[in-house]
Chains A and B, each alone.
Chain A
Amino acid sequence: DIQMTQSPSSLSASVGDRVSITCRASQSISSYLNWYQQKPGKAPKLLIYAASSLQSGVPSRFSGSGSGTDFTLTISSLQPEDFATYYCQQSYSTPLYTFGQGTRLEIK
């Protein structure tokens, strides 16, 4: 099974900061990597698919990069509504669509 490891597990930052979250796959997954944002008590929301494609309606301050085993989600200038938990998910290896363990982004 492919394992997805996110780092850091939690992160404190301020409004206006540039932040990056990393996701590493245990083997190459090409660009079959997606990013989701989840706020407390809410369903996850798709941000980025295929490693770097921005989902419709998602602000352009969110961007994704990487391929193979190493991927990054970057928020260029944090807004108050961005404080949430972020998950990566691989869809290279079926039948198992593995999620990372999540990165909690908190206000400093």
Chain B
Amino acid sequence: QITLKESGPTLVKPTQTLTLTCSFSGFSLNTSGVGVGWIRQPPGKALEWLALIYWDDDKRYSPSLKTNLTITKDTSKNQVVLTMTNMDPVDTATYYCARATYSGSEYFDYWGQGTLVTVSS
């Protein structure tokens, strides 16, 4: 059974750095073709892809947020960490992590429950 779960602060102040952890089980980030990504969703709005890290440590970032994002993995702990610097109230959103895999297209087949992060002073 594949599961993912996000953890981190629910409230951060503007300009602070957000650190979110995705803890997963049921698959390995050592497996070729597998990745873990982060996607966010502001309240009442659409999904926005942020970052993705692959089994071989290849990393991809949303161009519009690249300067503020860092994604890393700890394969031994089955965790992926996303850091986002200089948080702003517009970054208030539910943050999801999801497993990425490829079969004719790359897609997110398993998702965490999401964690709501509010940016406010």
Contact in complex: B109, A55 (CB < 8 Å) = yes
- Chain B's interface size range is 20 to 34
Residues of B within 8 A of A45 (CB): 111
Interface size class of A (residues with CB under 8 A): 20 to 34
C-alpha spacing A91/B106, complex, angstroms:
6
A87 to B, closest residue via Cβ: B47
A residues bordering B, Cβ < 8 Å? 1, 31-34, 36, 38, 42-46, 49-51, 53, 55, 87, 89, 91, 94-102
**Can you list 19 A-B pairs, Cβ within 8 angstroms, ordered by A?**
A32-B105, A32-B106, A43-B98, A43-B111, A43-B114, A44-B96, A44-B108, A49-B105, A49-B107, A49-B109, A50-B103, A51-B105, A87-B47, A91-B105, A91-B106, A95-B60, A96-B62, A99-B49, A102-B47
